[in-house]
């Protein structure tokens, strides 16, 4: 194969460790890692010619073997509540969405890890797409890079990206390696410098991968529980048949074991008439007893073609109150960006 047709390596696919082995392999000094990361992630430069502290000879060599390719930002939508959603197109034409949710003191970017999802949760619009493919690490970390670049170009943005949640399209733990490389970059001082408390992987509960996760990282973990027993969870989350609650809870406990201040955030989508009664709340409390926990209630967001119903505000309050009175920390996620289909579970990358 000629060097022209050989596939070039995308440097955005590599975290610090990956870059170190890449530069070693091509006979470059270790300090190239620091140089290149600072250009890409601190100065937002992805053009070798502008990397002026790297010799022309090295730059020319890099150009023949490496790229820093990113998806295209195809569309940006702004919600009346300030939430922004971007549609990104990959080089094979696949599309994914990412969402930026600002509040007074925090800016949360919600990124995708797969095109579609194979897990088929009954309440999720992404599930309807089926699974198309994993995103590369470059395609995941590019979302943070691109969102920051878009926000910097925009007036009236009073808070940048302070938090990243892997809660967009797809199941992060079924795209394990790429998710780890991308989250490493989010937390790396030479890249996005976010603390581990501010980077959250959300999983539907892939038990073996939760054990494996602990060996590789210490990002924050949110777990989509959504039901207080297997019977209900089986109905709305088919993945529960493979990894039932009695296996999931010990895996989560293990993830935070050995640290005094870490917690699991349990996500719980409240769906009218399915899992939203005070009895369900009491059962939920019993279930997670002994695990340092926060509970994040998410009122179900409806979407076209989904037969399930949104809970009333009263039902949500009643459920939250039962949990609050038990002494657990509970938050209710406010629906944001629903006028542009950017709310939880509404991401389906409709390119219209």
**Does residue 301 interact with ligand SF4 by CB under 6 A?**
no
Q: Is 4 marked active-site?
A: no
C-beta of 125 vs 249, nearer to ligand SF4: 125
C-beta of 68 vs 344, nearer to ligand SF4: 344
Instruction: List Cβ neighbours of 259 (8 Å cut-off, separation of 6 or more).
Output: 218
Stretch that binds ligand SAH, among 30-38, 149-157, 182-190, 198-206 (CB under 6 A): 198-206
**Does residue 243 interact with ligand SAH by CB under 6 A?**
no
Q: Is 121 marked active-site?
A: no
User: One of 117, 124, 306, 344 is an active-site residue; which one?
Assistant: 344
φ and ψ at residue 220, rounded to 5 degrees: -75, 150
**Does residue 98 interact with ligand SF4 by CB under 6 A?**
no
Q: Smallest gap, in angstroms, from Cβ of residue 69 to ligand SF4?
A: 25
3-state secondary structure the chain: CCCCCCCCEEHHHCCHHHHHHHHHHCCCCCHHHHHHHHHHHHCCCCCHHHCCCCCHHHHHHHHHHEECCCCEEEEEEECCCCCEEEEEECCCCCEEEEEEEECCCCEEEECCCEEECCCCCCCCCHHHHCEEEECCHHHHHHHHHHHHHHHHCCCCCCCCCCEEEECCCCCHHHCHHHHHHHHHHHHCCCCCCCCHHHEEEEECCCHHHHHHHHHHCCCEEEEECCCCCHHHHHHHCCHHHHCCHHHHHHHHHHHHCCCCCCCEEEEEEECCCCCCCHHHHHHHHHHCCCCCEEEEEEECCCCCCCCCCCCCHHHHHHHHHHHHHCCCEEEECCCCCHHHCCCCCCCCCCCC
Q: Smallest gap, in angstroms, from Cβ of residue 251 to ligand SAH?
A: 14
Site track 158-177 with ligand SAH (rule: CB under 6 A), x = hit: ---------x---x------
C-beta of 33 vs 275, nearer to ligand SF4: 275
Angstrom distance (rounded) from CA 233 to CA 241: 9
**Does residue 129 interact with ligand SF4 by CB under 6 A?**
no
Binders of ligand SAH in range 258-287 (CB under 6 A): 267, 269
**Does residue 124 interact with ligand SAH by CB under 6 A?**
yes
Q: Smallest gap, in angstroms, from Cβ of residue 154 to ligand SF4?
A: 28
Q: Smallest gap, in angstroms, from Cβ of residue 251 to ligand SF4?
A: 16
Q: Of 79, 108, 126, 275, which one interacts with ligand SF4 (CB under 6 A)?
A: 126
The site that binds ligand SF4 (CB under 6 A) totals a number of residues, namely: 11
First to last CA, the chain: 40
C-beta of 184 vs 296, nearer to ligand SAH: 296
**Does residue 170 interact with ligand SF4 by CB under 6 A?**
yes
**Does residue 173 interact with ligand SF4 by CB under 6 A?**
no
Residues that bind ligand SF4 (CB under 6 A): 117, 119-121, 124, 126-127, 170-171, 204, 224
Catalytic residues: 97, 344
Residues that bind ligand SAH (CB under 6 A): 123-124, 167, 171, 202-204, 224, 267, 269, 298, 300-301, 344-345
């Amino acid at each position: 194969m000629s060097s022209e047709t050989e596939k070039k390596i995308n440097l955005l696919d590599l975290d610090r460790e990956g870059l170190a082995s890449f530069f070693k392999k091509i006979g470059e000094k270790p300090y190239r890692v620091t140089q290149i990361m600072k250009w890409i992630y601190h100065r937002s430069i992805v053009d070798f010619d502008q990397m002026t502290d790297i010799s022309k000879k090295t730059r020319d060599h890099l150009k023949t073997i490496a790229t820093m390719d990113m998806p295209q930002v195809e569309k940006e939508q702004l919600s009346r509540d300030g939430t922004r959603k971007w549609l990104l197109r990959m080089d094979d034409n696949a599309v994914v969405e990412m969402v930026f949710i600002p509040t007074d003191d925090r800016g949360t970017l919600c990124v995708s890890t797969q095109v579609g999802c194979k897990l088929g949760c009954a309440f999720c619009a992404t599930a309807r797409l089926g699974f198309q493919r994993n995103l590369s690490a470059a395609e995941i970390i590019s979302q943070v890079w691109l969102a920051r670049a878009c926000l910097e170009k925009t007036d009236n943005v009073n808070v940048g990206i302070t938090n990243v949640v892997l809660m967009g399209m797809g199941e992060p733990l079924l795209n394990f390696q790429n998710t780890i490389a991308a989250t490493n970059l989010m937390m790396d001082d030479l890249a996005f410098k976010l603390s581990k408390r501010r980077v959250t992987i959300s999983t539907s509960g892939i038990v073996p991968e939760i054990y494996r996760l602990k060996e590789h990282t210490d990002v924050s973990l949110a777990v989509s529980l959504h039901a207080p027993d297997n019977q209900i969870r089986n109905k709305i989350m088919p993945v529960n048949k493979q990894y039932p609650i009695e296996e999931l809870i010990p895996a989560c406990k293990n993830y935070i074991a050995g640290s005094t201040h870490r917690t699991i955030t349990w996500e719980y989508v409240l769906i009218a008439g399915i899992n939203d009664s005070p009895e369900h709340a009491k059962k939920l409390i019993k279930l997670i007893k002994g695990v340092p926990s926060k509970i994040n209630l998410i009122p179900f967001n409806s979407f076209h073609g989904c037969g399930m119903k949104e809970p009333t505000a009263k039902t949500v309050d009643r459920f939250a109150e039962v949990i609050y009175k038990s002494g657990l920390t509970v938050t209710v996620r406010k629906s944001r960006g629903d006028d542009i289909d950017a709310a939880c579970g509404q991401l389906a990358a409709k390119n219209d």
